[in-house]
Structures are given as C-alpha cells and as structure tokens.
Structure 1
Amino acid sequence: MKKTFSILFCIQFFCFGLFGQMYKQWGDLGNGTYANPVLPADFSDLDVIRVGNDYYAISSTMQFSPGMVVLHSVDLVNWKIIGHVVDDLTKISPQLNWDKMNRYGRAVWAGSIRYYKNKFWVYFGTPDEGFFMSSATNPAGPWEPLHHLWNVSGWDDCCSFLDDDGQLYFIATNFSTDPKNKKEYNIHLFKMTADGKQLIMESDTILYQAKGSEANKLYKINGLYYHYFSQVNELGQRYIMMGRSKNILGPYEYKQLNKVDRTKDREPNQGGLIKVTDDQWYFLTHHGRGDWEGRPASLLPVTWINNWPIIGKVGKDTIGEMVWTGKKPITVKTQQTIQTSDEFQSAKLNVQWEWNYQPRADKWSLTERKGFLRLHAFTPFDPTNKEQLLLRAGNTITQRSMRTNTNLATVKLDISNMVDGQHTGLTHFSTAGYSTIGIRMNNGQKFLVYHVNGKDSVVRTITHKDIWLQSSWNIDGMNIYSYSLDGKKFIALTNSSQLRWGSYRGDRIGIYNYNLLAEKGFVDVDYFRYSYSK
C-alpha cells in the first residue's frame, strides 16, 4: 500500500511539476501569439459561443454564489468576467444556503450557453436537484428567474439545441444507472416545448452508451449534426469524442478527436467548438485533471479533416494532440483581463467575487459605510467542528487564485469593532485544507493568529485600529503570509503552506469573518488588492 502511494505521489509530482513549467508563459504574449493556458485559474466545465464579433463563455461554480460565471472576449485569448446566471442559490436547494452548506463538490455543474430567438440561453444541471435554465437579452444580466426544468437526480452535462425547423432539443447524461447494466452512462436526447421550459418526455432517445460519457454539446455544421462529448478510456483518462449524423436521432458515426497524456496535457476534454471564420475554428476547453489552481482553460486550434474537427496538432492517425502556443485567432487590441482588485466604492459587489454558499444578506453591506465592505459576524452552524470551522462559517467571500509566476494579495481591515469570540482575516480556501492569517479576539484582547492544517499559532497581540494582511504565492502554489501595522512595512511569517485542490475546485483567496460566541461584531474591509503576473 505504501509503495503504491509513493508511486502515485511521484507520478502526480512529476505531472504537475512539469505542467507548472509550462505555465511560465500564458495567455496573450503581445506579439500576435498566445500561450496556453489562456485562463490559468479555475474556469472549469466551459462552453462558448460567438454572437457577432463577441465571444461568451460560461463556467461551473459548484457551491459558490452567485452561480455559473459568464465571461466575455473579443479574441478568445483575453477574457473578463461580466456576470453570473444564478443570483440566489437557494432557488436550486436550501442545502446551498449559509445555514446548511451541504453541497461541496456538487451544486452548479457543467452547462451550455446558446444564442437563439434573440436571447442567450443557459442550461445546467446539479447531480441532486436536476436541471435548470435561464435566459437573458444581455449576457451580463439581468437573467430571468431560474426555472427548474426537471427535478431528477443522477444526471449531468446538458446542452440545448435549436434546429433549423424551430424544434428545440435537450441532451444530457444519466450517470446513475442500474448496477446490472455495469454502471454505463446513457446519453439521452429529448425534444423541448417551444418556450424551452419543458421536456417532452415521450421523445426520449438514447444516443450513446458507454462507461463515463458526459460533457455533451450539439452542433449542426454544413447539414450534419455533431454530438460532442467527453469519454473515459480503460485507464480512467478523459478524451474528446465526436459523433456525426444526417439525422439528429442518429445513427451516429463516432471518432476520437484528441489523444491524452496526463504527464504533458492534463486532459483537455470539456469545452466548446467555435467558428471564427469559414476556415478558422477553435476549441476552448478546460483541463480535466485538477491541481491546486483548479481546472484551467486552454484554446486549441481545430483542423477539419474529412468533415471531422480534429482538435490540436493533427497526428498521422488524424487524432489531435495538445498544443501550448499558437497564433492568435483575432488580431485586436484589448485590455480585457480577469478582474481581481476591489476598492469597494460601488453599491454592488464586483463580478469577480463569489461567496462560499449563499450569503446571509443582512450580515454584509457596501452601503453602511461608504467605500467599505462591512462584514457582520455570526456563529458557524457547526461551531464544534474546530478543524473545519471555515467550511461551516457563512459569508466567506472569495475569488479564484491565479496560477502565475508571482501573485500578491493584500487586504486592509478596520478591526476596531470586533468583539470577543470573533475571528476575521485572509484565507486560502479549499475543502482539502485551508490556511488563514487573521485576528482573533478573546477577553477583550486581539491576537494575530496563523492557522494551517487544523492548527493555530499565535503570532502577536494587536492593539491597532487597522491591520494589513497579505498573501504571496508562486507558480507552484506555495504561499507565504505577511502582515503590516502601517501598510508600508510587511513582516513575513516563517511558515509556508501549499495551496490545495478539493471537491472539484481549485484554491480560493478570500476574506472571512465569524464569531464563535455570539451574533456580534463586525469588520470593515477598506480594500482588497490582488496583482498577478503574465
């Protein structure tokens, strides 16, 4: 057993260490070329469309709120966040509220974004509650109230499709099947009503059956129907498959579109096919093998061979391989980038922020003190679980940690209104383990405390009104915390910690605030400034 663990650890260390070296450059290189990944952070379960000269993508968000992030680009390389589809996760399930927090690794899974009937349409699933949809005339929102399409469990990875005759379709995978059927995954196709809000159950057709088939998308290109999905091979590796047919109901002819080598590519597999020009196509995909930053996104060229869209570098066997650099699809000047810093000057949270579960609305404010985010403290719903307090504490606000050569995040806190029992500070957050640097108040005295792997270390007492907390981490996800009492001189802790991947999510940098004794106390966040390198 120990030998097996050692071998697996070495393989993982080699794979991710090698992949870390590939991150030395990423995104737009400024010379008409780009390097993968184009999004070196947790933008998983992607889908993408083109509307006019704009490109829009969505990415799953699990238990984070608001849910299902929406991104925009004009060149498929430089992206920015423009909004979310789901404002209130309790419309999916009460288990996603701050007082339950019972859906780690579940909730908002993969979905699809499409544009038809002069609207943007997003469909997505959860493994426990089934399928949901919403539409909007502006992808930045507002999105229509969430509609529960089908209350069912054991399904995932759906896509809507509008055919030329106006008929709407819905495709999805049933991964919960009878064990007598060797747990095969069935991919189903349904017709939908004209409003896209109801499945026509009697139209149910199984298009494909195999072990581990998901990530469905449907396209119609040059008169042929194309069914894209992700398949799992005998080694448990995911790769891209495509079926094609003259009839949407089949029969489909299938072909593998790319090769997988985890030591080199980390399984590019789930994403969307996109047409730039008649002879220029691309595939925006996540890397299915998660590491501490999550499942990042890469852009791969597509070459059509005998009416098959081969993804990546085409081999002699007409199967694609991962590519790490290439010419930009579109030459256009853009300043778009993933947002991070926030001075909290707006009456609305900036779009990069996502709470861990649905927050308690009356316990945070951007208006009680202008120019500050005020976080009121309340008791975690399970305060006895000392090793996982942060996983049970409401109103923890987070954003994605980028995997770049250098990262520096600084938060300034006014801690003058803290009370006994209150804990607040900066965190690197994952279900596989989290670390914090923050202030704890006991018996009228404030202490600067470092926490990692379930253990607290008191650094010093604090008597100042304001404190600056800082985190820096490198391309390998090694983090060092620092603090300052004047915002100029920062004192680094001697300890370092490894950022972690857990529950299908990469590490989050965030701000927390809770009280183990009472519903009292608050802190004011003056600013959060986070810079990352190219």
Structure 2
Amino acid sequence: MKFPLASLASRVALALGAAGLLLAGLPALAWQADNGDGSYSNPPLNADYPDPDVIRVGHDFYFATTTFANSPGLRILHSRDLVNWRIAGHVLPRLEGGPAFDLTGGSVYRRGVFAPSLRFHDGEFVIAFTVVGQNTRICRAVQVAGPWRCHSLDRAAFDPGLFFDRDGSAFIATAIGSDGTVTLLSLDKSLSRVTEARKVHYIPGAEGSKLIRRGDWYYLFNAIPRRLAMTISRAKALTGPWETINAIDTATSGGHQGAIVDLADGRWWGFVMQDKPAIGRITNFSPIFWQDDWPVWGTPEAPGRVPARAVKPVQGQPLAQPDTSDEFDRPQLGLQWAWNHNPDDTRWSLAERPGWLRLKATRADGFWTARNTLTQKGQGPYSRGDVRLDLSGLAAGDRCGLGTLGKVNAGIAAVRTEDGRLRLERHTIIDNGDRQPATTLPGPSAALDANGVTLRLEMDFVRARGRLSWLDGEAAKPLGDEFELIYDWRTGTFQGPQVALFCFNTGTGKAGQVDVDWFRFSDKRAE
C-alpha cells in the first residue's frame, strides 16, 4: 500500500479530532508512536521490550516480553491497535528457584525469565517460558492480569514456541542457537506432560522459535542471533519436510526475532525485535503481504523491510503508553515498576507514610548487590526523571538515591556521615561480566544543608549519554561528568539502562530509610 497521508484524511478525520484532544490531556511521554493522522512511527514502544510474542484475542492484542531477573516477572502489555500499548500485568509475582533470586549468595542478572510464548486456548491465556537453569513452565489464567496457575514440565525447552493446532493438540517448538536443531515437543491435553520429542528441522544457529498456521501451511519463525537475522520455514505438516528462506535482519531491514499476528479482518501484521546499542532491544511492527504463500515484511512498494512509518493497522483507538510518573499515592506500585530481584517486603512500604514510598536501607556491600532497587525502563529518544526525597530518616552508612541499572551503573546518592551531616556522592560502576572485576570510577560530592532534595536523571539515547544532577531551587547542578548509556548482552543486566531508585547500607550499625514523595517523568529537555 502506498502511503500518501493526504489520502487518509477523509477516512480518519473524526479520529484526528479525538486524537488531538487526547494528546492535549496526556502526561509527557518519551515517545508517542501514534502520529495522530492515521499513521504510526516505529517503534511503538521506544524502550527495551525484548523477545516479543504477540497474539490477538477478539479485537485485543497482547504482548509478552522477557524480564530476566526483574520482579514481578514476565510482563504482558495490551493494545487495541498494535500501536498504543499499556501494561496489563505480570505473570510471576515473584521468581522461584533458589536464594540468588533474592540476591542471597549471588545474583541472577542476565538470567531469569527468557523468551515467553503466549497463546489463547479454550477460554484461557496460556504462556510457556523457561527460567535459566530450570525446566520449562506453563502458566494459565482466565484474565491476563491473573491470577496465573503454573506447573513445570520434565525438561527445559530453550525459547519455547507454544502452539495449538486446530484440533486442540498442543506442541512446543524449541531450538538453541549453539546448535540449531528444531525439536517438536508434543504435549498431553493437560499440558503437563511431554508425550513425544521429535527433531523436525535444522537451521544453523536458530533459536527463538514461533509456530503459526495459515491455511494449509505451518510457518516456523526463527532468530539467528549470530547474524541478527530471521528465517521463515514452512511445511504442510509439523514434522516436515520444511523449506526455509532468509527474511529480515537488524542491520538493514528492521529486526531479527519475532513472527506474525492476524487481525480481526483477516490481514496479518509482523513484529520483530531490533538491537540498539544504547537503549537495548526494541520491538518494531510492520505490515506484511503474502507472496507465493510466504509472508513478506513491508509493502509491495517497499518489500523486505520494516517501515519507519506506516498506516496504523487499526484506526480510531485512543492514545496510550505505559505509565512512567508516579506520585506514590495509591496502595500499590504502578505496573511500570519492577525490583532488581525479588524484594524484601519488610524493607519497603506505601502504607507507613501515606502518599510516599518508603525504602528502608538494605544491607549490601555495594550497588550491584543491593536488594530492593526499584527500576523502570529507560525511554527513548530522550527522557528526564526527577525524584523528590525526604532524607530525614537516613542513618550513618546509608546510600539512597537515583541512578541507572545496567552495564554502566551511575548513581547520585544521599549519604549521612558519621557526624550527622548530609552529602551527595556520585558513583559509576561498570560491570565487566561474571569473571571480571567491575570498574569503579570515583566521582565528586556536594554538601547538603536540608533534609529534602530533588535528584534528576537524564537519558539521551540519541547521543548515548546520561547525566545526573540535583536541583538547587529551579537550577539543576550536575554532579560529575556525563556517562555512557550502553546495552550489552554479555555484561550488565542484558537489558537497556533502567531507571533505579535505591537505598542500601554498607555498614554494621542501624540502617535508616528514605521517603520518596514522587517520581516525575518528562520528555522535554532541561534548559
């Protein structure tokens, strides 16, 4: 389909007026993909939402994504048009499987929950996923917000691709990139037991399998991480024989891991993950067309690539984005927040001081091992987060403040000295992997003469630079130099830089607390 915006006017005039009103009333957003004229710009979510799996139920779309060690785990988003998304909930209230999920005796950064596969079957949402080092789990729920009931299979299926055939038979396709053999697991009706495991195909380096059926054809989508590309295979039977073609890739055409989802009117749309060096792995959405019974990303006029801008697949839906700001005036945390590992629920509260989030300092030898660090995703292309802190409860040795969690962990911490004074201190810690010591860069400090302070984190993903400041009245005073924003799957958290609210104590005396009045997000650059 050609994309002359003028030709859309007559079809979306009413939607435009409503969109304009909605735009005027929305809080600041880092990225609004809906252009308000019947078109959208990729990506719909300009943040690290990796390993996508997207399904349609009626007129609703659901998007499941990897969450690694973050708790709650396994996030699901909801949309009515594949462009405007809100967070619907999380499958796992906590992560299970050992003390490291509680940051006890080690950590599980870069591990945890990977590559979920979401389906809807017999009136229930069904999701399959594998926690690193554990067997594959299958969870079911009537409502996507839960509660979910889960059980484990007798084996680990890497990046499981759950599939229900037309007769209700259930399968999982699985492949790991170090090999590439695609194995088809047959499940019993209760989805609790593998009844057969059969090798059905081989694609060098394949993983991230997704299975779809259209007409008489089965389609198998696989990521090839070593070249950040996608293959598509098809067969008339799940057991093959399969024929395979190369599809798209991150470098030239828009992504590598993903699949396709059908629309209510019978059209199909594609979703695909793309690696970015600063923000992480984003998910793009694309029209597709069919050519000789093969799905092709893009349009006949511009085939083989994800468009930067396209007509929205569904018109007339209101603008939406995941929440960012939080006044902490509700009885629960906003769905945008996640802890760095399972939290110690005795060390935080929204009830002890209504209207405030209280973070009680946890014992830790440093930022990387500090439990109860509260995070949300960095938002591109530019975002600014301000947080207001009451420091009157800080004890000697407490380090509480705002920063980033990722490969480069930069923070600005309020510290109570032994003589009772307050100071602000910068830290920058670069994680170099499990077998290498972290790089710690000393930073400057500044004296505080009041128990209240506003801290600011700026993340410019275009320049791949972050900055930390504190506000003296309306004036922002940077503390230390800018730092890099880096996504690196080998080190850090395997995620793009996350906003981090932290409070820990490295000493042996009585730990204190910090009260957080609000966190306010803006996409406007500070003057």
TM interval, shorter chain, is 0.7 to 0.9
> What percent of counterpart residues are identical?
28
From 281, 293, 299, the counterpart of 2:268: 281
Contact 1:174 1:188 in 2 (8 A): no
Contact 2:405 2:500 in 1 (8 A): yes
| Correspondence 1:461 to 2:447 | yes
**CA distance in structure 1 between the aligned counterparts of 2:264 and 2:292, rounded to whole angstroms:** 18
| Correspondence 1:296 to 2:282 | yes
Q: 2:306 matched to which residue of 1? A: 322
Contact 2:397 2:415 in 1 (8 A): yes
Q: 1:88 matched to which residue of 2? A: 94
TM-score, normalising length: structure 1 = 0.85
Q: 1:416 matched to which residue of 2? A: 392
Q: 1:281/1:440 Cα in 2 relative to 1: closer, same or farther (>3 Å)?
A: same
| Correspondence 1:513 to 2:488 | no
Q: Which moved more, 1:241-250 or 1:62-71?
A: 241-250
SS in 1 for 2:153: strand
CA RMSD across the alignment = 2.1
**CA distance in structure 2 between the aligned counterparts of 1:533 and 1:295, rounded to whole angstroms:** 23
Question: Once the 2 structures are TM-superposed, how far is the Cα of residue 372 of structure 1 from its aligned partner?
Answer: 1.0
Q: 1:370 matched to which residue of 2? A: 354
**CA distance in structure 1 between the aligned counterparts of 2:65 and 2:191, rounded to whole angstroms:** 21
From 79, 99, 102, the counterpart of 1:97: 102
From 466, 469, 477, the counterpart of 1:491: 477
SS in 1 for 2:208: strand
Superimposed CA distance per residue, residues 401-459 of structure 1 (whole angstroms, 9 cap, x where no aligned partner): 0112x3110001111011011000001111x2211112112212221112224233343
Contact 2:102 2:342 in 1 (8 A): yes
From 338, 355, 368, the counterpart of 1:391: 368
Unpaired segments ≥5 residues, structure 2? 1-29, 430-439
Q: 1:34/1:104 Cα in 2 relative to 1: closer, same or farther (>3 Å)?
A: same
**CA distance in structure 1 between the aligned counterparts of 2:61 and 2:216, rounded to whole angstroms:** 23
Q: Which moved more, 1:450-459 or 1:133-142?
A: 450-459
Q: 1:419/1:76 Cα in 2 relative to 1: closer, same or farther (>3 Å)?
A: same
Question: Once the 2 structures are TM-superposed, how far is the Cα of residue 184 of structure 1 from its aligned partner?
Answer: 2.3
SS in 2 for 1:28: coil
SS in 2 for 1:490: strand
Q: 1:117/1:356 Cα in 2 relative to 1: closer, same or farther (>3 Å)?
A: same
SS in 1 for 2:368: helix
**CA distance in structure 1 between the aligned counterparts of 2:242 and 2:193, rounded to whole angstroms:** 26
| Correspondence 1:121 to 2:116 | no
Q: 1:96/1:315 Cα in 2 relative to 1: closer, same or farther (>3 Å)?
A: farther
Contact 2:467 2:482 in 1 (8 A): yes
Contact 2:384 2:524 in 1 (8 A): no
SS in 1 for 2:37: coil
Q: How does 1:37-76 map to 2 (within 5 A)?
A: 37-76=43-82
Q: 2:181 matched to which residue of 1? A: 186
| Correspondence 1:528 to 2:523 | no
Q: How does 1:411-450 map to 2 (within 5 A)?
A: 411-430=387-406, 432-443=407-418, 444-450=420-426
Superimposed CA distance per residue, residues 259-288 of structure 1 (whole angstroms, 9 cap, x where no aligned partner): x362x45x511123111255521112211x
Question: Once the 2 structures are TM-superposed, how far is the Cα of residue 532 of structure 1 from its aligned partner?
Answer: 2.6
**CA distance in structure 2 between the aligned counterparts of 1:373 and 1:79, rounded to whole angstroms:** 26
Superimposed CA distance per residue, residues 22-76 of structure 1 (whole angstroms, 9 cap, x where no aligned partner): xx98611111111111111100000000111111001101111111111011110
Superimposed CA distance per residue, residues 120-169 of structure 1 (whole angstroms, 9 cap, x where no aligned partner): 0111113321311211111122222x3222344xx421122112222111
From 189, 195, 211, the counterpart of 2:204: 211
* Count of aligned residue pairs for this structure pair: 479
Contact 1:189 1:207 in 2 (8 A): yes
TM-score, normalising length: structure 2 = 0.86
Question: Once the 2 structures are TM-superposed, how far is the Cα of residue 502 of structure 1 from its aligned partner?
Answer: 3.4
**CA distance in structure 2 between the aligned counterparts of 1:25 and 1:527, rounded to whole angstroms:** 21
